[in-house]
A = this chain, B = another copy of it.
């Protein structure tokens, strides 16, 4: 669902300070984390990587490691980062690097279902609705005989083996979730892309069999396509590595090198005062955006937002509530929320894509500031559900 949208604001050229005209389309459909650019720009040279023409030419990074294409310095940085932030147990875990967590999700499905039997049915893959809109497509697009999307975990009643994806904080709605099916034939994949201090209180180090994280959401470097899995079981780590070997013969070494550098700077920043600490900076920025958004929604007759409980965050040493990367906006019943917003030239993703009703829409809050402010301005101008759109 990323891709061309006519007349939309260019996502590239961040330095061009285009003024948004009232006719400009604001694309908040995908969670492009460009809001974090100013932080990294401010750090200047400190995060710069230099790569010479003869560097990183081999397929191999670490032939003694199960994940033979993982740069050792990235593996080290990942483990240190989790220790510093306290969001996941990383000691004695296998690290598998992927081309974004997108690829690792598929690697995990493969690892948990292969080799399968020639006559066996594909294993069911479920997730509690509302679930991340891309899981279904990523699971089913090749019509694999190994696994098959089976929808909402709450209504799953088939016997036998299954895989449940637990996304926490949840995409789209930011909720903190646990597995819901809980049967012994089940295997779990924990997608923890948003379990970082800027989005939610860090209440404990997560400790699950397969945990997925991504550079895109941790520090905002989506263009690098770096994700990582922390994996308990050696056989699973080996099969996930095999998947990435067969599907792309490894993962960009340039991106791995740069991710190692930037994660290193982020770790170092955690020793410093608030504005130098990326995660505290991010937490303040997200809290500010949510405050502004809640102000607009409070004055609206037709929109509402989820409430999040206050929790103690070990990282910022304060009680705080979640400030998710997406707003999960609900319209008055029977209003198609996505269509309503589209009529105001705001592109979002409707609830049906997440397995729930059209009264919901997911809106990225990670855009550049100009787009976020323009979004608020337009949102505050929507007074009735009938403004220029079809309702059902």
Contacts and interface: CB of A to CB of B under 8 A. Distances in A.
Given A65-B4, A247-B102, A34 B57 contact: yes
Contacts of A100: 248-250
B2 A134 contact: no
Given A63-B4, A110-B142, A224 B253 contact: yes
State how many copies of this chain the complex holds. Answer: 2
Interface residues of A, number: 87
A53 B41 contact: yes
A11 interface: yes
A56 interface: yes
A245 interface: yes
A225 B252 contact: yes
A244 B152 CA distance: 26
Contacts of A252: 99, 223-226, 251-252, 254-255
| Of A41, A49, A143, A247, most B-chain CB atoms within 10 Å | A143
A139 B69 CA distance: 22
Interface string A159-201: 0000000000000000000000000000000000000000000
Interface of A: 2-5, 8, 10-12, 14, 30, 32-34, 36-41, 43-54, 56-66, 68-69, 98-100, 102-103, 106, 110, 114, 116, 134, 137-138, 141-146, 216, 220-226, 241, 243, 245-255, 257-258, 262, 265
